[in-house]
Structure 1
Amino acid sequence: MDEISLLEQGVSFVLHIDQHLFALVAEYGAWLYAFLFLIVFCETGLVVTPFLPGDSLLFAAGTVAGAGHLSYPLCMAVLLGAAVLGDAVNYEIGRHVGPSIFSRETRFLNKQHLLKAHAFYERHGGKAIILARFIPIVRTFAPFVAGIALMSPVKFLSFNITGAILWVAGLVSAGYFLGNIPVVKNNFSVVIYGIIIVSVLPVVIEFIRANLKK
């Protein structure tokens, strides 16, 4: 299977992620909680998987819960745990192996993404951990960079938990209360496009601003 086919399948999965989750919960039941935990943990905890869906998955999970197929409180707890634990693992990896990444090239890690996250962290300091939750790719690299910068573990944990609560509660609740409204349900791919655009917008604005300063 070529890269284009894989990309097309990936895009299709994200745009119709609600349908996939409904199918998964129908077939595997409570195991869907483990699937959701794994995806969010990997997206936030492993610097080699920034491509995994985060925002759209949380919204879709809330939609499935809103339809009565998942427990809303349990779904919230599982995803919150995955987000906090993922960032914590990422931070520890950054503390222990991060410095060597800057000194050599590696095929498993996009160094440009890492440098952008580092610049974002330098510009916003500790609050970058909270802000990064809402920005794809940067979300994956921010805790890694915080670990490299040797941010205080206690301070990082406070930013980590705060950001996770805002991110998970916001998107899961939006899906829970809005995802099954007919106009949203019938245009779910459009809503996902909107979430992606809103998520990427800060990166685009920052890119334009940086180029205007040159």
Structure 2
Amino acid sequence: MEDFNSWKDLLNPEFYIKMGGFWLILFIIFAETGLFVGFFLPGDSLLFVSGIYAVEIIKETFGSTGSDLLDTTILATSVAFAAIVGNEVGYYFGVKAGPALYKKQDTFLFKKKYLYQAHDFFEKHGALAIIMARFLPVVRTFTPIVAGIVKMDKKEFLRDNVIGAVLWSFILIFAGHYLDKLFQEQFGINLKEKLELIIIVIVLVTTLPIIIKFLFGKKEDHSKYEDNSTE
């Protein structure tokens, strides 16, 4: 097994796959979508790379089913469930303790600006934000908390939560698995040997909207959120 010694490994999805496999992947997805301290964890890249390793992951955990499609489906379904539970935890955390976060001082693991960004995103897109946020790093961590703070209807949140989690997990995991097969069969390229490049591309693509907003977006007045937190 490959050794991992650098702190940078914490941002490397292959680290979690090699070190902890199936169960660590589920925990990372739960933490990244349900605990506000999990915003720095890999999400999109972890799912894509997990798709590449799907057959190996399921084989090591439960034993191979003999079907690539079934192995990949089991992994995607499990990840979707972890993501759903994570968002529900984030939602109820927002209901109970969310308002106090607007008064919380920034720490290494908590940045209030991310909460503001998620609030703006939620207000702009409404219920659809729960689905859309799945595909946006950082935003997906804080959006369910914001949904809880504004007391979004529980049933509507659960519906959008399930839709978003299923789309996110199945699209990225199946993309990773079948693109790997396509590149090997058609071009003789093993994506496992190109993981660093793949991760960089995924990070750039998924964070581009956030970077654009940061560079060109207008500065928002967030005092109204802090005022609401005291109600």
- What TM-score comes out, normalization by structure 2 length? 0.77
Q: How does 1:45-124 map to 2 (within 5 A)?
A: 45-66=34-55, 70=59, 71-105=71-105, 107=107, 109-124=110-125
Unaligned stretches of 5+ residues in structure 2: 60-70, 221-231
- Tell me the residue number matched to 1:196: 203
Please list the CA deviations of residues 38-58 of structure 1 after superposition, one character each: whole Å capped at 9, or x if unmatched. 110011010112111111111
Q: Secondary structure at the match of 2:217?
A: helix
Give the distance between the partners of 2:75 and 2:219, measured in 1 at CA. 43
- Tell me the residue number matched to 2:160: 159
- Tell me the residue number matched to 1:138: 139
Please list the CA deviations of residues 79-129 of structure 1 after superposition, one character each: whole Å capped at 9, or x if unmatched. 011000000110000011111222343635211111111111111111111
Q: Would the alpha carbon gap of residues 97 and 68 (structure 1) be closer, same or farther in structure 2, given more than 3 Å must change?
A: closer
Task: Give the Å deviation of 1:205.
Answer: 2.4
Contact 1:47-1:109 within 8 A present in 2 as well: yes
Q: Percent of aligned positions with the same letter in both sequences? A: 35
- Tell me the residue number matched to 2:177: 176
Q: Would the alpha carbon gap of residues 66 and 93 (structure 1) be closer, same or farther in structure 2, given more than 3 Å must change?
A: same
Task: Give the Å deviation of 1:179.
Answer: 3.0
Give the distance between the partners of 1:10 and 1:131, measured in 2 at CA. 30
- What TM-score comes out, normalization by structure 1 length? 0.83
Which of 1, 6, 9 is the equivalent residue of 1:9? 6
Q: Would the alpha carbon gap of residues 193 and 212 (structure 1) be closer, same or farther in structure 2, given more than 3 Å must change?
A: same
RMSD: 2.4
Q: Kindly provide the amino acid, as one letter, of the partner of residue 34 in structure 2.
A: G
Unaligned stretches of 5+ residues in structure 1: 1-7, 25-30
Give the distance between the partners of 2:39 and 2:15, measured in 1 at CA. 23
Q: Would the alpha carbon gap of residues 198 and 155 (structure 1) be closer, same or farther in structure 2, given more than 3 Å must change?
A: same
Give the distance between the partners of 1:101 and 1:14, measured in 2 at CA. 26
Give the distance between the partners of 1:33 and 1:19, measured in 2 at CA. 12
Q: Which has the larger Rg? A: 2
Q: Secondary structure at the match of 1:188?
A: helix
- Tell me the residue number matched to 2:27: 38
Contact 2:77-2:169 within 8 A present in 1 as well: no
